[in-house]
Amino acid sequence: MSPLVIDNATARRLWIERNGLATSPDATRSLDAAERVVVDLGMVQLDPIRTVARAHEHILWSRCGRARPPTFERLIETRRVFEHFSHDAVILPMALWPYWQRQRLRRAGTHERGAWGQAMPPASVKRQLLRRIERDGPLCSRDVNARGEDRTAAWSKPPHKIALDGLWLDGTLAVSHRRGFLKHYDLAERVIPTELLETRIDDPAQIDHLCRAALTRLGVATPRELQRFWAAMTMPEVRDWIEACRAELIEVRLEMADGRGIPALAPHDIEARLSALPEPGTRLRVINPFDPLVRDRDRLARLFAFDFRIEIYVPPARRRYGYYVYPLLEGTRFVGRAELRADRATGRLDIPGLWWEPGVRDSSGRRTRLSAELARFARLAGVADVAPLPPGER
């Protein structure tokens, strides 16, 4: 039997729908709506850069239009999410905690083998930190006296910070809240609900849950994409899961933007999901560089023929575009990218650069849609004005 063929236009619609961007953002201002975003996406990446808004604030706002920066902090404080490490630092639905045990063990093991090329602090440092937190409550790295510590390398971390990270990664500590994006750690039993903390799930069941959850959120996926989604399983573990669940999976042929077809896997109800896809809208959206829609740059290039790399670590003279550049999504097509900066001193959203993709018209209608989106985005940043759109470059 020939595999189901999913044409490229449908594959794009499915991926956008799976990322919660096929319809207008939720208009309610509630923690329930923001929590649903995290649950539906699986996780939301954290990043401190705030040229306009931090990545997690922007990602939540893109799906929940009235979310504002404190929403993220409230999600943590009300124990709706927990913070840990996937491909990077992320917030995850609290219900995932028992299934994240293997990742805590994996990440803690990597950390113990050497953090940032530095020697691990002695066990006494961890014991001292735990005693202090148990006695005094949540602690951030700035609360610890770090005088006399060697900071000869710009990227080095003091021993107490390495110890805090290790205790957080292995699940002994959890992030209780953040202030000014600074993590505050507390004992996990004072943060994670008791019923979740005490739930024990064997490792094969954890892998099964994570693979199924990844496939649901990806819609269709190659084995490598399944493995990369959570970054919590090895490729052999993913392949073993596929073989064990082969009867429940549908083999499909996924059409790429260049017309090539690649083999992929889908949930058993994929045809029903495809038939229920909403029609793509015409809204032009500013997408965060760390948004799950664009995080897997290889998948992005294959499905959308959109070559995107963030250049924050590229020397200015070697940047092709700019420091912090946002992809522009219109319907099911990436039409360009823009460099944006919120100047809070002047109360204006500046636009240092605007680039259209090949074949995209720099039309008045497209500029009107972009201006409307930038006006909405400016409100998230807390600025009132938007600079005039510059001429679009190619």
What's the mean pLDDT when you consider all of the chain?
93
Residue 154 in this model has a pLDDT that exceeds 60: no
In this prediction, residue 112 carries a pLDDT of 65
Give the per-residue SS3 of the chain: CCCEEECHHHHHHHHHHHCCCCCCCECCCCHHHHHHHHHHHCCEECCCCCCCCCHHHHHHHHHECCCCHHHHHHHHHCCCEEEEECCCEEEEEHHHHHHHHHHHHHHHHHHHCCECCECCCCHHHHHHHHHHHHHHCCECHHHCCCCCCCCCCCCCCCHHHHHHHHHHHCCCEEEEEEECCEEEEEEHHHCCCHHHHCCCCCHHHHHHHHHHHHHHHHCCECHHHHHHHHCCCCHHHHHHHHHHCHHHEEEEEEECCCCCEEEEEEECCHHHHHHCCCCCCCCEEECCCCCHHHHCHHHHHHHHCCCCCCCCCCCHHHCCCCCCEEEEEECCEEEEEEEEEEECCCCEEEEEEEEECCCCCCCHHHHHHHHHHHHHHHHHHCCCEECCCCCCEC
* pLDDT per position as a tens digit, 172-183: 999 999 998 999
Position 118 confidence tier, pLDDT thresholds 50, 70, 90: low
Residue 114 in this model has a pLDDT that exceeds 60: no
* pLDDT per position as a tens digit, 335-353: 999 999 999 999 999 999 9
In this prediction, residue 151 carries a pLDDT of 47
In this prediction, residue 180 carries a pLDDT of 84
3-state secondary structure of 239: helix
Q: What mean pLDDT do residues 149-164 have?
A: 65
In this prediction, residue 337 carries a pLDDT of 98
Contact 303, 39 (CB under 8 A): no
Residue 304 in this model has a pLDDT that exceeds 80: yes
In this prediction, residue 340 carries a pLDDT of 98
Position 249 confidence tier, pLDDT thresholds 50, 70, 90: very high
* pLDDT per position as a tens digit, 216-247: 999 999 999 999 999 999 999 999 999 999 99
Bridge partners, 185 (sequence order): 139, 175
Position 199 confidence tier, pLDDT thresholds 50, 70, 90: very high
Position 206 confidence tier, pLDDT thresholds 50, 70, 90: very high
pTM for this structure? 0.93
Residue 146 in this model has a pLDDT that exceeds 60: no
Position 153 confidence tier, pLDDT thresholds 50, 70, 90: very low
Residue 119 in this model has a pLDDT that exceeds 80: no
Q: How far is it, in rounded angstroms, from Cα 323 to Cα 310?
A: 8
